[in-house]
Amino acid sequence: MRKVTLADVAAKVGVSAITVSRALRSPEKVSKTLQRKIKKAIADLGYVPDPAARALASGRTNVIGVLIPSVTNNVFSDVMRGMYEAIEPTTFDLQLGNTRYSPLMEEDLLKVFLSQKPAGLVITGIDQSKTARTMLQSATCPIVQIMETGPNPIDMMIGFSHYDAAAAATTHLIDAGSRFPAFVGARMDPRTQRRFAGFKDTCERAGVFSRERLITTPEPSTVTLGASLFANLISQQPEIDAVLCNNDDLALGILFEAQRRHMAIPEELMICGFNDLEMMAVAEPPVTSVRTHRHEMGRRSIEMLVRQIENPDAEASKIIDLGFDVISRRSTARRGPRLGS
Amino acid sequence: MRKVTLADVAAKVGVSAITVSRALRSPEKVSKTLQRKIKKAIADLGYVPDPAARALASGRTNVIGVLIPSVTNNVFSDVMRGMYEAIEPTTFDLQLGNTRYSPLMEEDLLKVFLSQKPAGLVITGIDQSKTARTMLQSATCPIVQIMETGPNPIDMMIGFSHYDAAAAATTHLIDAGSRFPAFVGARMDPRTQRRFAGFKDTCERAGVFSRERLITTPEPSTVTLGASLFANLISQQPEIDAVLCNNDDLALGILFEAQRRHMAIPEELMICGFNDLEMMAVAEPPVTSVRTHRHEMGRRSIEMLVRQIENPDAEASKIIDLGFDVISRRSTARRGPRLGS
DNA sequence: AACATTTATGACAGCGCTAACATTCCGCTG
DNA sequence: CAGCGGAATGTTAGCGCTGTCATAAATGTT
């Protein structure tokens, strides 16, 4: 039982191989009658096209490469879910590359991906290395940068401003009465840095910034880490009355640690997360967070690519800012400045 | 600037294409001198092999296909992390397929994957459809089934017994004094069913089973869902003194809901999760859970495959039971039967 | 009716690489 | 020193498919 090839199908129907190929690739060029017969023969023989042969002959694949810095991070699983959802009704496949937050690995993976002549590429963030940018710029397929918007797009872009989002969250905390806000950050990647910048600038403008109320670590963020970072921070700086977290894992850890210390939330400590993972709304008390449109970002990034691939000259917006929303919940529901300050 | 091919490299060095091919594929067959020269030429020209051409010519790829039911579920992100870790030092690539818990999608994806002549396959669980099993059995590459162990392996297998794990957790609850244990389950896939069976049988043996204290839903599990399922359940069956959860998301939701209702944990309600996600240890109170070796499962599944691919006739254990551990924490730290019962 | 245009199919070559076999060259044995 | 074995390299062919151009048939046009 040898592999079934196009030629076998063609022989069975009594046409040439190329016609079968056409029936699959561009059915509108083949008569209805033949299409039906060919479809039947394919089913009967159990023919499955060989993607390698197709790629070699046509010089392109139906693979969309996706470069993300982490497969573990909850944020990216939401984005990926959106992508898988969008890819499903199409004929394209997704191929994931994990850069582990390393520009070097990003370059290597990019080289591998480009050698496969992908139909499109998704790449995370706007901080590619010079080499990576050059490779991307000379690529012949459409490219989307996700997670962030910024100047100098390589091709397309969908995301939001991390600076603005953090600034808005910080304003929310200050408006709620915080005079001693803190920032807790893990894995300070470029996006996190920009969030911190938004926090810092906003605090400075309100005259409430202190470098003492900042704790960061290069480790990847976890709930446990949030708890222990906060434990450190609060023992050094007991005056802290609000925390803006890099992300929701940390925020949840801080919530647990605060509960352990019997700190009243929000009365003694306000907590604000980032990303608005599902669990924040149901925590006790519910935790304020910055909602980012991760699922939509994933879905639309693929949709943008597919549209561009199938219709290269159509006019379509190439840069999409999805924005964000500060979702205010009980963990920051304090009014006015704290008593006695 | 045309694509650089093997022939270009060969021409530059002054040898034939096949020699360059060999220098890449099986360096031991090429003299040291040539190897050096060829390596240099490859670097100079920036040659990158074309995987499609290789696949077509050799009839195999260096792709390991992975079929999992969900890319979102925390459980699988841990497994995937282990896989990515194990694949990194090798020359193989991972290709993910998301079956969405559907045997039909599993079949389709399997067909696609097999058409690519993968170097190996990872497939989740032991409940493949008849068609899928037939396809797998006639595949020429090594295959690992993960997440579970059971009879009739297709090829290799790494996992643990969900029945035993749930039974052990249930025993733990009963030993801790539960007389009215409940089971909360979401997305009742086959593994979940077996966990429930372990719970049921153990309860029955102890004379504490009641179908009234069981709540399940086909929806995917989330923290929110845990909270609302528990709210339903406890209002119907207020006597419940312990809950075994399908997984940790649900357990966390139940913890939050119990806090909202000011139920003392573990005094009024014991909670036991499943999987022992990172956050369970740091929750307040820390939540008992069944630790499963997800990361190791992912890592070792790939290692098993790679070993088998590179050394097909070596004797190696083909079925590995990684076991589990009931990690007892404060959420089940009650001693003896409840007062007054 | 003669010709142009469109639609449907086919012939041929070649994508970049490697399997299989062939050749060359070397040192070594008896 | 003929003959042999093994290491290093080459020749040839072909993997399964699609791009390109050619051809044949159907339809429209004046």
pLDDT value of position A169: 98
Contacts of A81 in chain B (CB under 8 A): 71-72
Question: Is residue A74 a contact partner of residue A275, using CB atoms and an 8 Å limit?
Answer: yes
Average pLDDT over residues B63-70: 93
Q: Under a CB-based contact definition with an 8 Å cutoff, are residues B186 and B250 in contact? A: yes
pLDDT of res. B313:
76
Q: So what's the pLDDT on residue A188?
A: 82
Q: CB of residue A11 closer than 7 A to nucleic acid strand D?
A: no
Mean pLDDT, all residues of chain A: 92
| Across B107-116, average pLDDT | 89
Inspect the interface and report whether the beta carbons of A52 and B81 lie closer than 8 Å.
no
**Predicted local distance difference test score (pLDDT) of residue B116:** 87
The mean pLDDT of A111-129, rounded to a whole number, is 92
Output the six-digit token pair for A280.
């924040």
pLDDT in tens, A176-214: 999 999 999 998 889 999 999 999 999 999 999 999 999
Q: Do B96 and A96 touch (CB under 8 A)?
A: yes
Whole-angstrom distance, CA of residue A331 vs CA of residue A269: 8
Contact indicator for A324, A168 with CB cutoff of 8 Å: yes
For residue A341, what pLDDT is reported?
A: 40
Interchain contact, A71 vs B77, CB within 8 Å:
yes
Residues 116-135 of A with CB under 7 A from strand D: none
**A305, pLDDT greater than 70:** yes
Residue B335 pLDDT exceeds 80:
no
Give the model's confidence band at A98: pLDDT under 50 very low, under 70 low, under 90 confident, else very high.
confident
Tell me how many degrees the CA angle A139-A113-A98 measures, rounded to the nearest 5: 125
Q: Does A56 lie at the interface with B, CB-CB under 8 angstroms?
A: yes
CA distance B206 to chain A (A): 34
pLDDT at A335: 66
Per-residue pLDDT at A338 exceeds 70: no
Residue A140 has pLDDT above 50, yes or no: yes
Task: Supply the DSSP symbol for B192.
Answer: H
Flag the least confident range among A24-28, A238-242, B119-123: A24-28
Residues of B with CB below 8 A from A231's CB? Answer: none
Q: Return the minimum-mean-pLDDT range out of A77-81, B287-291, B323-327.
A: A77-81
Q: Which amino acid makes up residue B86?
A: A
| SS3 track for chain A | CCCCCHHHHHHHHCCCHHHHHHHHHCHHHCCHHHHHHHHHHHHHHCCCCCHHHHHHHHCCCCEEEEEECCCCCHHHHHHHHHHHHHHCCCCCEEEEEECCCCHHHHHHHHHHHHHCCCCEEEEECCCCCHHHHHHHHCCCCCEEEEEECCCCCCCEEEEECHHHHHHHHHHHHHHCCCCCEEEEEECCCHHHHHHHHHHHHHHHHHCCCCHHHEEEECCCCCHHHHHHHHHHHHHHCCCCCEEEECCHHHHHHHHHHHHHCCCCCCCCCEEEEEECCHHHHCCCCCCEEEEECHHHHHHHHHHHHHHHHHCCCCCCCCEEECCEEEECCHHHCCCCCCCCC
> What separation in angstroms does the CA of A296 have from each of A80, A84, A147, A239?
10, 11, 11, 39
Structure confidence at residue A1 (pLDDT) = 57
- Cα B262 from Cα A279, distance rounded (Å): 19
Chain A CB within 8 Å of residue B53 CB? yes
Q: What is residue A329's predicted lDDT score, i.e. its pLDDT?
A: 97
What is the pLDDT, as a whole number, of residue A197?
97
Contact B109, B69 (CB under 8 A): no
Protein side of the strand C interface (CB < 7 A): A 14-19, 22, 28-31, 33-34, 56-57, 59; B 3, 5-7, 17-18, 21, 24-25, 47, 49-50, 53-54, 56-59
Give me the mean pLDDT over the A239-254 stretch: 96
Cα B4 to Cα B10: distance, rounded to the nearest angstrom = 11
Q: How many Å from the N-terminal Cα to the C-terminal Cα in chain A?
A: 83
Say what the pLDDT of residue B340 is: 40
Is pLDDT at B165 greater than 70 in this prediction?
yes
Query: Is A45 within 8 Å of chain B by CB?
Result: no
Whole-number Å distance between alpha carbons of B180 and B157: 36
The per-residue pLDDT for B223 is 94
Residue B294: predicted pLDDT: 96
Q: How far apart are CA B268 and CA B302, in angstroms?
A: 44
* Predicted confidence (pLDDT) at residue B72 exceeds the cutoff of 80: no
Average pLDDT of span A25-46: 89
Chain A residues with CB inside 8 Å of B249's CB? 279
Tell me what pLDDT residue A340 has: 40
Residue of chain A nearest B65, judged by CA positions? A95
Q: For residue B252, is pLDDT > 90?
A: yes
Q: CB of A254 within 8 A of CB of A230?
A: yes
Confidence tier at B248 by pLDDT (50, 70, 90) = very high
Amino acid A28: pLDDT: 86
pLDDT (mean) for B115-144: 93
Using 50, 70 and 90 to split pLDDT, how confident is the model at A336? low
Which residues 17-36 on chain A approach chain B with CB closer than 8 angstroms? Answer: none
Q: What is the share, in percent, of chain B residues with pLDDT greater than 90?
A: 74
Domains annotated for chain B, with CATH where assigned, are 6-49 (1.10.260.40), 63-161+294-323 (3.40.50.2300), 162-291+326-332 (3.40.50.2300)
d(CA B254, CA B271): 8
What does the angle CA B6 – CA B12 – CA B14 come to, to the nearest 5 degrees? Answer: 95
Highest mean pLDDT among A39-48, B110-119, B141-150, B275-284: B141-150
Is pLDDT above 80 for A337? Answer: no
CA of A115 to C1' of C17 (A): 14
Average pLDDT over every residue of B104-116: 89
Contacts of A143 (CB under 8 A, 6+ apart): A120, A121, A122, A123, A136, A154, A155, A156
User: What confidence tier does A91 reach under pLDDT thresholds 50, 70, 90?
Assistant: confident
Nucleotide with the nearest C1' to A25 CA: D18
Protein-contacted positions of strand D (CB under 7 Å): 7-12, 14-20
Smallest Cβ–Cβ distance between A281 and the set B52, B94, B224 belongs to: B224
Q: Which A residues in the span 139-168 are in contact with B, Cβ-Cβ below 8 Å?
A: none
Above 90 in pLDDT, residue A159? yes
Percent of chain A whose pLDDT exceeds 70? 97
> What is the layout of strands, in order, in the sheet containing B156-160?
B93-98, B63-68, B120-124, B143-148, B156-160, B319-321
Query: Does residue B26 carry a pLDDT above 90?
Result: no
pLDDT given at position B336: 54
Average pLDDT, chain B: 92
pLDDT band per the 50, 70, 90 thresholds, residue B338: very low
Instruction: Give the pLDDT band of residue B339 (cuts 50, 70, 90).
Output: very low
B324-327 and A288-292 strand pairing: unpaired
Cα–Cα distance, A244 to A47 (Å, whole number) = 56
Give the gap in angstroms from C-alpha A320 to the nearest C-alpha of chain B: 25
Q: Inter-chain contact B72–A71, Cβ cutoff 8 Å?
A: no
CB-CB under 8 Å, B72 with A48: no
- pLDDT on residue A180: 97
String of DSSP letters for B267-320: TT-EEEEEE--GGGGTSSS--EEEEE-HHHHHHHHHHHHHHHHH-TTS----EE
**Count of A–B CB contacts within 8 Å?**
103
Which segment of A71-75, B32-36, B185-189 scores lowest on mean pLDDT? Answer: A71-75
